[in-house]
Structures are given as C-alpha cells and as structure tokens.
Structure 1
Amino acid sequence: MLKQFSIILGIYFLGEFLQEVFELPVPGNILGMLILFFGLYSGVIKFEMIDRISDFLLENLAFFFLPAGVSLITCFAVLEGKLTAVVGFSVISTVVILGVTGLTVELVKKFLQKRPENVSFSGKGENKVGKVPDNSQACEIKTKEVS
C-alpha cells in the first residue's frame, strides 16, 4: 500500500511542480488529478496500481473535510451578518452541481447507447470485442447451470 500511496503522492507533487514552474492559473492538485485521469485513461497507470489506496482514501473522505470545518468555525466573526449570502450561495451552487451532474449522466448514457453493440467497456481501461449478451440470455445461462 505504500507503493500505491507513493504513486498518488508523486502525481500530486508533479501537478504542483508543473503549476509552479509554468505559473499556471490552475491549482496544482487539479493538474495532478488531470494527470492521474489521463494516466488511467491511456493505460500508463493501471487501476490495480492504485486500487487499495484509492479505496482507503474514499472510505476516509469525511476525515479530510475536518480542517475546512474547523477553520470555518473559527471564522464565524468574519461571516457575521453574511449568513443569508452564505446560505444562498450554498443553495445555488448545490442546484448548479446537481444540474451539471444530471446533464453529464445523460450525455454519457447517450454516448454509450450510440456505441456499436459488439464493443463493451470492461471498466479497467480496455475494450473487449464480442457480442454482449442481454439480460435475458444471462438469465437463461444461469438457470441452465442450476438445473
């Protein structure tokens, strides 16, 4: 798991380094996420190389929000009198995020429906070619094996 953490941390530092060297307006952690995404998408980084640390980080995600929550509590004096603006901004941003997420899901669904029937995505960065059985065929196969 230390090797997997080193990969994630190295990609993060690479993003920070690129941001600092090229003085980009994008934060280094965002660049690191883009590097990780394209690394996984292209197959340079295999999912198996980071799966355990990714699961660990996702399971403990709430822990990473504690510093932000504590700093927000310590800044109540600054936020005094601006509660309406903070709540309004939170509601509006939540609605926007829900809308963008919904539109993204719809676009991905349409994209996947337009794909040829004989190509299925395995979920691990590679495509498998062959006839994809529909659910009725899968049920028939299972019932024949049980009989």
Structure 2
Amino acid sequence: MKYAKQIFIIFLVTMLGELLNFLLPLPVPAGVYGLFILLAALCSGLVKLPDVEDFGGFLLEAMPMMFIPAAVGLLEQFSEIRAIFMPLVLIVVVSTVVVMAATGKAAELVIRAKRERETK
C-alpha cells in the first residue's frame, strides 16, 4: 500500500504539471512544472519526503533506460550528424564547462550566505 500511495502522489504531481502546461502559454515543459510543484509541496511540508522517496528512487534507478531509444535514434541518423559533428562536440564541451562553472559559483554563494547567516 505504501508504494501505491507514493505512485499516486508522483502521478498526481505529474498530472498537475501537465495541466499547468496546457493552461499556461509559456514554453516550459510539463515535467518542469511538475518538479516545481513537487519541490513546493516538499518545502511546505504538504508532502513529506518518505511519502515519495522509495518510488522516486526507483524512477532514478530506471532513468538510464529511458535514454536508450534516444541514443538508438542518434545512431540511426549518424550519417546526417557527421556533417556537424565537430561543431556539435564543441558546443557540448563549452556548454558543459559553463554549466559546471555556474553551478559551482551558485553553490559557493549559497554556502557563503549560509555561513554569514550562522555567524550573525
């Protein structure tokens, strides 16, 4: 019964995200709306972490399998991708470095703000 409750909560949040995606004219995927709804529910205490933790862990463990169809699709289209392969690799490398740097700086700012708050 515990898993049924967890599945229900996660699917409910997913459906709310789909509803927001349908109602709001913003270019935001439904999954992102769902993630923000779940984050708000967890932060507010409306949903407790143990209420979604086990099934969420299962979904995280199953996530790599979700990339297999996309990878097969890329392999099937490799002859077309070959023409733009080097620019594509450059874009991936540069964007990865930029995201890592931005994430590091954001983490530093959060840690610094937390330390300053604790010293006051």
Q: TM-score interval w.r.t. the shorter chain?
A: 0.7 to 0.9
Q: Which has the larger radius of gyration?
A: 1
Amino acid paired to 1:66: I
Separation in 1, partners of 2:4, 2:68: 24
Separation in 2, partners of 1:103, 1:14: 33
Runs (4 or more) in structure 1 with deviation over 3 Å come to none
Amino acid paired to 2:79: A
Separation in 2, partners of 1:45, 1:91: 38
CA RMSD of aligned residues (A): 1.8
Asked which structure has the greater RCO (Cα within 8 Å, sep 6+), the reply is 2
Q: What TM-score do you get using the length of structure 2 for normalisation?
A: 0.87
- Is the counterpart of residue 53 in structure 1 residue 55 in structure 2? yes
Separation in 1, partners of 2:61, 2:4: 17
Structure with the bigger percentage of strand: 1
Separation in 1, partners of 2:118, 2:83: 57
- Is the counterpart of residue 64 in structure 1 residue 38 in structure 2? no
Amino acid paired to 1:43: G
Which residues of structure 2 form unaligned runs of 5+? Answer: none
Q: What TM-score do you get using the length of structure 1 for normalisation?
A: 0.72
Shift of 1:116: 3.3
Pick the aligned partner of 1:107 from 88, 109, 114: 109
Shift of 1:22: 2.2
Separation in 1, partners of 2:79, 2:96: 25
Residues 61-80 of structure 1: per-residue CA shift (max 9 Å, x gap): 32222122122112213312
Pick the aligned partner of 1:78 from 80, 90, 99: 80
- For these two proteins, the number of residue pairs brought into alignment is 118
Separation in 2, partners of 1:12, 1:72: 28
Amino acid paired to 1:16: E
Separation in 2, partners of 1:89, 1:103: 21
Separation in 1, partners of 2:49, 2:97: 32
Amino acid paired to 1:94: T
